[in-house]
Chains A and B, each alone.
Chain A
Amino acid sequence: MTSTILDMRSITKTFPGVKALQDVSLEVQRGQVHAICGENGAGKSTLMKVLSGVYPSGTFDGEIHFEDKLCQFKDIKSSEAAGIVIIHQELALSPYLSIAENIFLGNEMATRGFVDWNKTNLEASKLLARVGLNDHPTTKVADLGVGKQQLVEIAKALSKKVKLLILDEPTAALNDGDSANLLNLIKHFQQQGITSIMISHKLNEIKAVADKVTIIRDGKTIETLDMHADEITEERIIKGMVGRDLDNRYPFHTPTIGAELLRVEDWTVHHPVDQSRQVVKSANFDVHAGEIVGIAGLMGAGRTELAMSIFGHSYGSRISGRVYKEGVEIQTNSVAAAIKHGIAYATEDRKRYGLNLLDNIMRNVSGAALHKLSRWGWVDGNRERLVAEGFRKSMNIKAPNVAALTGKLSGGNQQKVVLSKWMFANPDVLILDEPTRGIDVGAKYEIYTIINKLADDGKGIVVISSELPELLGICDRIYTLAEGRITANVPREKATAEYLMQFMTQAKDQDAR
């Protein structure tokens, strides 16, 4: 009755130093909606990139059979020719071109090199009708909301005679109405015989549309569940996503928690461009001296946005709410002001936002607190060298000397430079966004030890992380964040991965009660 459309057999993909996928198999039935679930970094996107030819055949081990044929895609174009189209989380539309131009970009309706505009717009409007979009095909994409842009992407996929549609976090940037609309559309396509693979964090959506769900964890397939056969609950899926044992990867730490250092009340932030969309919704949280507080949330929950908006309004628009430092309300509307009030933020993307990769360790370390080393605007180079050299030794930064360029260091050592920079600035509250992303296990342990030491020095630490085990391993208290809202404040004793994941995947209708 049902037949297999896609069969991926023992896919193994290795990056230098990391096994991203290990012996992963995935079988998708024709005409079904197949969901893929897993924590951030579990390997979902890598698997889809293998399938769509982003990683060409030969750069991974294993076989892909599509419609009973062995496929060796060498790029995206060849996978699209076979009928596999991927829609990425970050939409790939050109904003100043029209809907029709975007749909046929790279695939223009042309005769002898000249675009046939009538045909282009006519074909485009047929496709738009199929996805339920009423806008005129000559409308510029920039004038559409994100929800409609998503539909344009899907129309573009349809224009390529898609047989297997891959959607990566399709509703991450959408509001409730648009999300529901999109899920209906996926159902509708299913009736037309289009198979879909959907990567999603939102378990309620998976329950609503998926026929099957495959759970991936640490680059391995854990299980594939039939959503119709058994009584599959969200708890059941969560267990599959997080079920791993915590071994001794975290240094032991007994906290000495003191007075409240930072309290944030009723913090609301809107998207910088789409100013009607709330990214952070009246968030409240606090940190005490000597305490390590975690913020857990899935991709798109608004973790970084929350932190950066507090740190000098570096993200967002129409920010409202109050920040208290040791009980006194403060203004943090510039980075300099936030630093002056003793708040520091170490970014999740150290290469883009954290370091000057063209400059050396010394000048990166001193960068946030040059005023401490200077008099009358002149930097005391000798003291700067001594300070940087001190950090190089105490933080165990592996470089011959502090004149080494940060661009040439490994991820772990770069992170230590970022931490040194903020330790030298000597803040009271340190917000660490994904402090161990892209760092090997040994360096992670060192970073955790540094975090513990900072807490013991009486600082308040906020750790944002996608890795639940990490938060469970080092935090004294964990807030969960779901779609911009703080959904729970969980003390260490009560925190388990399953318990947190419930609040992290809490759907909008549930928290509205």
Chain B
Amino acid sequence: MTAVSSALQYLTGQLRQIGLFIALIVIIIFFQITTNGITLAPINVSNLIVQNSYILILAVGMVMVIIAGHIDLSVGSVVAFVGAMSGVMITQWHMPWWLAIIACLVLGAVVGMWQGFWIAYFGIPSFIVTLAGMLTFRGLTQIALQNQQISPFPDEFRALGSGFLPDLGGGTSFLEPLTVILGVLATAGMVYADIKGRATRKKHFLEDEPFSWFLLKLVFTSALILLVTFLLASYRGTPIVLIVMGVLMVGYSAVMANSVWGRHIYAIGGNAHAAELSGVNTKRVNFTLFINMGVLSALAGLVFTAQLNLANPKAGDGFELDAIAAVFIGGAAVTGGIGTVVGAIIGGLIIGILNNGMSIMGVGTEYQQLIKGLVLLAAVAFDVFNKRRAKAATK
């Protein structure tokens, strides 16, 4: 009885996390039914990943910015600017594609330094600086492109957005072998890391997660990865951009959890005064945070441009709002200090699946906007409600 009640108590404490997962599943099932099974068709799952990749990349950078208590409204314009410059570099300056990619990432860093300087060292609120950036970089995009589109791009460059890893089965096998191998390896890696993490926590008496819940979560996530693996393998294999996203997700999760820099970001967002009085160089952390956001925005710009095979002055319009919404749906706190990379990615997936499912159902964009707005509001309202209840419970 005590085991059950303590497990229940633990689960109510984790309501937000569970709610997010449940919401994701409910949404998937809902669209799977209403679209007559198109949602989970292999080709659609592949498209879903590819077409949401740039929002997810932006969400990873954005969640870090928001954890530190800032916001970045300029990412959509930076996506467009970097996309435009990649077009200029490749088609007008005749740079090799790989050099253009590197140059664009450096350009993103420079953009980040520019904004980070005003925010960290000059003390202007990030809302204002990045609002200015939103206009500035949109303007620079139009100047760089002289209000024209640039197309086409070389195939190697396009692979970044829409390419797949080579098919080891020669296109004839029922399941693409490389994808299956990667999927199984990823599952095994995750299971190993989770079990090991639990063991160390247990050793130091830090574990309060009930074993049954741990097992359920592990089985569920493994099944999810294997399902996606199966679906991708039965279509064209692994999208290159999925590998990019996987590396970002695992890498940045580790950075936020275990690096000094990541700790300082949480510390600043949680209590900037206390961080400063503990010797954290808050200015430098804020500055580097925006450089990081700039580089990730540049990467998203490259992926987006490569996918469309087009540099367009209007590209990236409204991306910042999708990225910010993803972060808040993913459980980040408006006041900073709370949030996770994984949460932001799940939040991004929820938005992506909503977009995708409603498009397949033929829902007009006006209703799509309406519904996305309500989902965001509901997610944050749920948070606030939860916090208030938790506060009342401790009193």
Whether the pair B337, A356 counts as a contact (CB closer than 8 A) is: yes
Interface residue? B273 (CB, 8 A): yes
In chain A, what residue has the closest Cβ to B269?
A: A358
Q: What residues of chain B lie closer than 8 Å to A381, measured between beta carbons?
A: 257-258
- B257, B267, B277, B281: which contacts A353 (Cβ < 8 A)? B277
Whether the pair B271, A357 counts as a contact (CB closer than 8 A) is: yes
Q: What residues of chain B lie closer than 8 Å to A347, measured between beta carbons?
A: 277
Interface residue? A208 (CB, 8 A): no
Q: What residues of chain B lie closer than 8 Å to A352, measured between beta carbons?
A: 271, 273-274
Whether the pair B271, A356 counts as a contact (CB closer than 8 A) is: yes
Best-surrounded residue of B208, B259, B278 (most CB of chain A within 10 A): B278
In the bound complex, CA of A382 to CA of B197 (Å): 10
- B205, B259, B270, B280: which contacts A359 (Cβ < 8 A)? B270
Q: Could you say which interface size class chain B belongs to? A: 20 to 34
CB under 8 Å from chain B, chain A span 321-335: 335
In the bound complex, CA of A381 to CA of B337 (Å): 19
Whether the pair A314, B277 counts as a contact (CB closer than 8 A) is: yes
In the bound complex, CA of A379 to CA of B265 (Å): 14
In chain A, what residue has the closest Cβ to B266?
A: A359
Whether the pair A379, B266 counts as a contact (CB closer than 8 A) is: no
Q: What residues of chain A lie closer than 8 Å to B235, measured between beta carbons?
A: none
CB under 8 Å from chain A, chain B span 259-299: 259-261, 263-264, 266-267, 269-271, 273-281
Interface residue? A446 (CB, 8 A): no
Interface residue? B338 (CB, 8 A): yes
Whether the pair B204, A354 counts as a contact (CB closer than 8 A) is: no
- B206, B259, B260, B275: which contacts A356 (Cβ < 8 A)? B275
In the bound complex, CA of A314 to CA of B266 (Å): 21
- B257, B260, B270, B278: which contacts A335 (Cβ < 8 A)? B278
In the bound complex, CA of A8 to CA of B20 (Å): 56
In chain B, what residue has the closest Cβ to A366?
A: B263
Q: What residues of chain A lie closer than 8 Å to B14, measured between beta carbons?
A: none
Query: Chain A nearest CB: distance from B366 CB in Å?
Result: 38
Interface residue? B36 (CB, 8 A): no
In the bound complex, CA of A401 to CA of B203 (Å): 12
- A338, A371, A382: which contacts B200 (Cβ < 8 A)? A382
- A335, A359, A363, A385: which contacts B204 (Cβ < 8 A)? A385
In chain B, what residue has the closest Cβ to A314?
A: B277
Main secondary structure on B side of the interface with A? helix
Query: Chain B nearest CB: distance from A357 CB in Å?
Result: 7
In chain A, what residue has the closest Cβ to B262?
A: A379
In the bound complex, CA of A359 to CA of B275 (Å): 12
In the bound complex, CA of A136 to CA of B290 (Å): 47
Interface residue? A402 (CB, 8 A): yes
In chain A, what residue has the closest Cβ to B205?
A: A401
In the bound complex, CA of A335 to CA of B284 (Å): 14
Interface residue? A27 (CB, 8 A): no
In chain B, what residue has the closest Cβ to A308?
A: B277
Query: Chain B nearest CB: distance from A382 CB in Å?
Result: 6
Interface residue? A503 (CB, 8 A): no
Whether the pair A402, B394 counts as a contact (CB closer than 8 A) is: no
CB under 8 Å from chain B, chain A span 355-375: 355-359, 363, 366-368, 370-371, 374
- B204, B260, B267, B279: which contacts A374 (Cβ < 8 A)? B260
In the bound complex, CA of A357 to CA of B338 (Å): 11
Whether the pair B277, A363 counts as a contact (CB closer than 8 A) is: no
Interface residue? A378 (CB, 8 A): yes
Query: Chain B nearest CB: distance from A247 CB in Å?
Result: 33
In the bound complex, CA of A381 to CA of B262 (Å): 13
Whether the pair A358, B394 counts as a contact (CB closer than 8 A) is: no
Q: What residues of chain A lie closer than 8 Å to B273, measured between beta carbons?
A: 352-353
11 additional contacts, CB 8 Å, given A359-B266, A366-B263?
A: A314-B277, A335-B276, A358-B269, A359-B267, A363-B266, A363-B267, A367-B280, A378-B260, A381-B258, A389-B204, A408-B394
A positions within 8 Å CB-CB of B: 311-312, 314, 335-336, 338-339, 345, 347, 352-359, 363, 366-368, 370-371, 374, 377-379, 381-382, 385-386, 389, 400-403, 408, 421
**A-B interface, 10 closest residue pairs, ranked by CB to CB distance from nearest:** A356-B270, A368-B278, A358-B337, A358-B270, A339-B279, A336-B279, A356-B271, A353-B273, A335-B279, A367-B278
B positions within 8 Å CB-CB of A: 200, 204-206, 208, 257-261, 263-264, 266-267, 269-271, 273-281, 333, 337-338, 394
